[in-house]
Structure 1
Amino acid sequence: MVLDKEEQRCGVDIVVVLDLGGFIHGKKLKKLKTWTNFFVKKLSPIDRLSIVTFSKNAGRLCPLTRMNEYGKDNVELLINKLKGDGYTNITAGLQTALNILAQRRQKAGRTSAVLLMSDGKLTNGCDHPSTVDVSDVPVYTIGLGNDHDSQLLQDIATRSYKGTYSIADMEEWNLNIAFSSCQEGLLNVFVQDLQLTITQLGSDIQDVRAGNYNQTRDNESVTISFGNVYNYEKFRTTVFLSLPAVKEQTAIDILKVALSYRYVPSILLPLFYCKQFESIVQNALSNCYCLQANRWAGFVN
């Protein structure tokens, strides 16, 4: 069975947040429309898109709309009618986008994200975007032109969940480069809610290092929550153990490793596809820890 690319990933609900502030006019506004239409064409019928615009205030241009041909045509008409204004209130735009995602009724088996395109030049008197909690959703920020506020847009992406920051140069306007980093995250979610639980057996877990991913612990185990996993994404986890003393080289069970994840695509994948993913991870972990157990046991006095 051969699967289409759209069948190999979760559907995404994305809110595109567009800056229509005072600095977005003329050539910048034209480029902004071109870029947004370019992005819309990349989406599949399993995806849904909503557009939020902001200047002094923010407003929803359209609700989450399925990206079939009819949906894309309607969204393109709305994009081409956009006009600039005199203020830049990024905070209002972000908060409106988060509200749209929070109010979804259909969430099962779907991922969500925000794509923010702005020059990042705040209007005096507007609340700073740092007041908006974006830690639970990926926010992909794209700075428009070489004169945008890179620090502000990079901060928003960094504070979000696996978001990225990139630049769209207004002169060269290389769409593929600006789009590639956010496309990798948005359209390639392989599994959701990946958790790795490591339980001590004939050992004592001293520490587990897995980057900045959240960890929960009890007396005998540590669970690491990796969240959504993108195609070809890799994780590295290091476990520090205290082993019992032995007088001769021996093989012992030191850890139990359990993997859990959720994958509910709009078109159900064959069971072997998910099982193959689990088997690869389990085998890699099991082989690693068995080798380490033999090596350590030979040097413990």
Structure 2
Amino acid sequence: MDKEFEYYAILGVAPQATLEEIQSAFASLRVKIPKEKRDKAKNPAYARLANAYEVLSDPARRATYDSLLAETKSLDVVNLQVTASRDRIKVSDTEQVVYLLLDISPPAQDTKQLPLNLSLVLDKSTSMQGSRLSHVKTAVELIVNKLAPTDTLSIVSFSDRADVDVPAGKVENPTAVVGQLRGVQASGGTEIYQGLQAAVKELRKVDLAKHTNYLILLTDGHTYGDVEQCLELARRAARENIGISAFGLGTEWNDQFLDTLVSPSGGQSNFVEQPGDIVQHLQKRIQGLGTVYAKNLQLKATLHRQATIQYGFKLEPFAQPLALDDEFLKLGNLEGRSPLAALLELKIAPSPTETRLKLNIEVIAHIPGPQKREQAFKQAHPLMVLSDVAQEMPPENIVEAVRVMNMYRMNEKVWQEVEAGRLDVATTRMHHLSTRLLEAGETELAHQAQQEMDQISRAGTMSLAGRKKLKYGTRALIGKAKKKHD
């Protein structure tokens, strides 16, 4: 807690102090301050002393403060750290914006890891033939050889129907698994629901409570006629602690659909530009899954009646926007020793008088073990509304994360303007984005933005490749900005 709000320490009394002891302590400290300096507006030291006394001498306010102290004690199962862009805002009759950075990490002591229950869902439609399917097979072969003896693997391939190429089971003979995979041939259309449905059935063959359960989809195209079925399946799977990540190969797939598909479980969607990059993407995702400490973390969206979450973005272990259409923001898994970090943009309602807002951060997680299912972790972060607030620079890590996040959002707004037919506005926004990328030293992305600016002017839209390069390129910068300042 900020030292300014450590009221017992300011008065020099214990938390168990009686009202008489609090009154005596205040009187002793107050007499040491000259009368002409007993002005809260002009003397911050006196203001801290007076505020401490006003709170602790009022039974109701003291009870509220004591509950705040209890909530902000360090947690023994996860570590939750909250950093605000500012802890003090001015009294105002207009809305104000505050950013919160949440860092969630496992405890220092060793923890028991669950075996992995993994299902790989591979698109084998006609468009996957050739190098794409060949590289997918190579990547999966490498993954098979990295699984532990206690892990469970299933492999499903799909086009307009699904085949279970490797039923759920321990990988006792990697060579046999690879042999089954090599027989997969490309043909047919793309119906992603068929593959997802078959994979979830395979995942359910083991005790989900005793495993880290995950489905990874690799596809290169649009699904036809089954979008709502896919999204409903993803929501059901998330409730069973089954995570989903999805990788799009090439440029023809629907990025908005994949973002929505992985959102209920806090999973990752990403762009694989070249077939040869599949191995790197898949290995990185599997590596994190092997050390999951807590599953299905969810942040309660209601922090305070005067504070509304306008936007949320996960920074670590991978960069991914957070959906805001539910009671909870789905943060995904807490993977091993890696922290889970998220940036929240809050809109603070007009506050015409001085007050203290208690932002209630509540995270619910499933931690393996009979005594730790659906654990809630709470921390209250005070935000003071004051008449006089000194000008302060926000923490550098928040400044950098917001700066690059705004470039990502600017690119997304360009696409919205293009879809709405406001091409002049889209072109102007893309020009601003190109300039900011150049200033950030991201010359390749800046050049892509310039190309897309010309494309919008000539053809009235963005190229499929350019759309994805900018979306996932600017998204990746957000995670890099967080790591740079850790």
Question: Please, what TM-score do these two structures have when normalized by structure 2?
Answer: 0.42
Unaligned runs of 5+ in 1: 1-5, 217-222
1:142 alignment partner in structure 2? 247
Which of 163, 178, 189 is 1:59 aligned to?
Answer: 163
Matched with 2:342 is 235
Distance of 1:158 and 1:181 partners within structure 2: 21
Following the alignment from structure 2 to structure 1, what is the Cα–Cα distance between the partners of residues 301 and 161? 48
Measure, in 2, the Cα distance between the counterparts of 1:55 and 1:26: 15
Which residue does the alignment assign to 1:127? 225
Q: Distance in 2 between matches of 1:141 and 1:38?
A: 18
Determine helix, strand or coil for the equivalent of 2:197: helix
What CA distance in whole angstroms lies between the structure 2 residues aligned with 1:11 and 1:59? 25
| Map of 1:220 onto structure 2 | none
Contact 1:164 1:181 in 2 (8 A): no
Encode CA deviations 1:88-135: one digit per residue, 9 max, x unaligned: 33332122223333x34401143322222232166xxx5344542223
Q: 1:179 maps to what in 2?
A: 282
283, 299, 306: which one pairs with 1:206? 306
Compute the displacement of 1:29 (Å): 3.4
What does residue 116 of structure 1 align with?
217
* 1:242 CA drift (Å): 9.8
* Cα distance between partner residues in 1 of 2:196 and 2:206: 20
Residue 107 (structure 1) aligns with? 208
Q: Does the CA-based 8 Å contact 1:158-1:164 persist in structure 2?
A: no
Q: How far apart, CA to CA, are the structure 2 residues paired with 1:109 and 1:227?
A: 17
Q: Distance in 2 between matches of 1:206 and 1:104?
A: 46
Residues 58 and 198 (structure 1), Cα distance of their counterparts in 2 relative to 1, 3 Å cut: closer
Q: Partners in 2 of 1:197 and 1:24 — Cα distance?
A: 40
> Tell me, what secondary structure is at the counterpart of 2:128?
coil
Q: Which has the higher contact order (CA 8 A, sep 6+)?
A: 1
Tell me the equivalent position of 1:43: 147
Deviation at 1:49, TM superposition (A): 1.4
Aligned residues: 253
Q: Which amino acid aligns with 1:207?
A: A
Q: Percent identity at matched positions? A: 20
Q: Is the radius of gyration larger for structure 1 or structure 2?
A: 2
Deviation for aligned residue 1:253: 10
Q: Are the structure 2 counterparts of residues 109 and 260 from structure 1 closer, same or farther at C-alpha, using a change threshold of 3 Å? A: farther
Deviation of 1:177 after TM superposition, in Å, equals 3.6
TM-superposed deviation, 1:64: 1.7
SS in 1 for 2:129: coil
2:293 counterpart of 1:190? yes
- Tell whether the 8 Å contact from 1:54 to 1:89 is kept in structure 2 after alignment: yes
Structure with greater helix share of residues: 2
Q: Which residue number in structure 2 is paired with residue 79 of structure 1?
A: 181
Match of 2:26 in 1: none
Cα separation, partners in 2 of 1:92 and 1:149, compared to 1, 3 Å: same
Cα distance in 2, alignment partners of residues 164 and 15 from structure 1: 16
**Cα gap change, 1:168 to 1:12, in 2 (>3 Å):** farther
* One-letter code aligned to 1:38: L
Structure 1 residues 38, 130: closer, same or farther in 2, change over 3 A?
farther
Unaligned runs of 5+ residues in structure 2 are: 1-109, 313-322, 390-486
Matching residue's letter, 2:306: Q
Q: 1:48 Cα shift?
A: 1.7
